[in-house]
Amino acid sequence: MAASSSLLFTLLLVLLTFSDSSVQTLGLEVGINYGQIANNLPSPARVSYLLRSLNISRVKLYDADPNVLLAFANTNVEFIIGLGNEYLQNMTDPIKAQNWIQQRVQPYLTRTKITCITVGNEVYKTYDHQLWSNLLPAMQTVYNTLVNLGLDKQVTVTTAHSLDILSLSFPPSVGAFRQDLGEYLHGILNFHAQVKSPFLINAYPYFAYKDKPNEVPLNYVLFQPNQGTMDPSTNLKYDNMLFAQIDAVYSAIKAMGHTDIEVRISETGWPSRGDENEVGATPENAGLYNGNLLRRIEEKQGTPAKPNVPIDIYVFALFNENQKPGPTSERNYGLFYPDGTPVYNIGVQGYLPELIYSSATTNNGFSICSLLVLAIAYLISS
């Protein structure tokens, strides 16, 4: 056992020595979506080490997996946890909402930093009018339960929307919500204003490019140098689509009478592989999109309409998920393969190379990530 401990210590010491100039520079306010629709992912304990070695301190889940919450205990990593759409009807019942929070949230709060609950995900994309009707009552009931339990200052409540809740998105100054959603979103926005929680949007410029590759300039969606576009109403110039989408959401919110609600991006990313008709789904484009985006996060950039409000973004996703349904791209948004190696090396493009994965190697040819995995595996096996 003494020899085992000595070897483990040596491995960790080497890891820390080589990571000092690379992995440790990661202290940015970038979040990561940790999806688990796969049968080959590493254990949550290993994922915890991976994310902490990268200094990623904000994670978004699509559920409240107790194995993950326990694995990240005492790590100071902030969690957004999720209530799936299948829970919405039950969450309109105060008793069921209280039971869920007392069983799935409260037991972990003393050691795991849960800061937000998303009630539903892209509900208005479902065209299930019962879900539409249940969304706001479910959000209100969950929030009221947190108030009753004295947790509302610690945990906030929101929901995540797809960008197609907009009927108009360009120019950004005319951004507007779909008319059929008006009555629902009016209540949602009032809720956000009341409880001071953010409005979450899943925004993917990739979809716009894929659908109209001959009309949408690739450099514009990849944050690459381009001539940009001008909003004729505001004379604000946009050099990338994501920022234009964010400002369009702000305009839509303002059109409904609110100027005090913050917009955050709960998902954005780019697939590294796709089907034949999924134009642009390549490792090169994915690396450019995420690398350039992360650079802008590091620079604390705001959008043209909100230059003093740094963008707040959760990148999608941590791993490729091999059991996700749909086209090939759906299984290829990950920054990492399940074995912990990067799907593409953002560092090759020179944009914050250490941010997601360091390609630095030791004299023996081991990558930093490999040493980390070896150390953890040795610890577990011992």
Give the pLDDT confidence score for residue 373 in this predicted structure: 43
Span between the terminal Cα atoms of the chain, in Å: 8
78-132 confidence digits (pLDDT tens): 999 999 999 999 999 999 999 999 999 999 999 999 999 999 999 999 989 999 9
241 backbone dihedrals φ, ψ, rounded to 5°: -75, -35
Residue of 81, 69, 80 whose CA lies nearest to 31: 80
Q: How far apart are CA 124 and CA 120, in angstroms?
A: 10
- For the CA atoms of the chain, what is the radius of gyration? 21
Give the pLDDT confidence score for residue 53 in this predicted structure: 81
CATH number of the domain at 26-355, please?
A: 3.20.20.80
Give the pLDDT confidence score for residue 347 in this predicted structure: 46
Q: Is the pLDDT of residue 5 over 70?
A: no
Give the pLDDT confidence score for residue 362 in this predicted structure: 39
Give the pLDDT confidence score for residue 52 in this predicted structure: 85
Give the pLDDT confidence score for residue 54 in this predicted structure: 82
- pLDDT band at 3; cut points 50, 70, 90: very low
330-339 confidence digits (pLDDT tens): 999 999 999 8
Cis peptide before 172 (omega within 30 of 0): no
189 backbone dihedrals φ, ψ, rounded to 5°: -65, -40
Give the pLDDT confidence score for residue 49 in this predicted structure: 87
Q: Which of 29, 78, 86, 122 is catalytic?
A: 122
Q: Is the pLDDT of residue 4 over 50?
A: no
- pLDDT band at 55; cut points 50, 70, 90: confident
Contact 364, 16 (CB under 8 A): no
Reduced to 3 states, what is the DSSP secondary structure of residue 249? helix
178-228 confidence digits (pLDDT tens): 999 999 999 999 999 999 999 999 999 999 999 999 999 999 999 999 999
Mean per-residue pLDDT of the chain: 87
Q: How many CA atoms lie within 13 A of 332 on its CB side?
A: 18
Q: How far apart are CA 346 and CA 349, in angstroms?
A: 6
Whether 278 sits among the annotated catalytic residues: the reply is no
DSSP string, 72-134: TTTS--EEEEEE-GGGHHHHTSHHHHHHHHHHHTGGGTTTSEEEEEEEEESGGGTT-HHHHHH
Give the pLDDT confidence score for residue 204 in this predicted structure: 98
Q: Which of 262, 267, 276, 330 is catalytic?
A: 267
Own/partner pairs for 292-299, CB < 8 Å, 24+ apart?
292/222, 292/223, 292/224, 292/351, 293/223, 293/242, 293/268, 294/28, 294/30, 294/346, 294/351, 294/352, 294/355, 294/356, 295/223, 295/351, 295/352, 296/223, 297/28, 297/29, 297/30, 298/28, 298/352, 298/355
- pLDDT band at 33; cut points 50, 70, 90: very high
Give the pLDDT confidence score for residue 341 in this predicted structure: 85
Helical segments of 117-231, H only: 129-148, 182-195, 205-211, 218-221
Residues in contact with 78: Cβ distance below 8 Å, sequence separation at least 6, in sequence order: 57, 58, 59, 113, 114, 115
240-268: average pLDDT: 98
Reduced to 3 states, what is the DSSP secondary structure of residue 53? helix
330-370 confidence digits (pLDDT tens): 999 999 999 888 899 764 322 222 333 333 443 433 344 44
Amino acid letter for position 173: S
Whether 215 sits among the annotated catalytic residues: the reply is no
Q: What percent of the chain has pLDDT over 90?
A: 78
Q: Is the pLDDT of residue 289 over 70?
A: yes
Token couple for 312:
């707040």
308-338 confidence digits (pLDDT tens): 999 999 999 999 999 999 999 999 999 999 9
287-294: average pLDDT: 94
11-29 confidence digits (pLDDT tens): 443 343 333 333 333 445 7
CA 342 to chain centre: 17
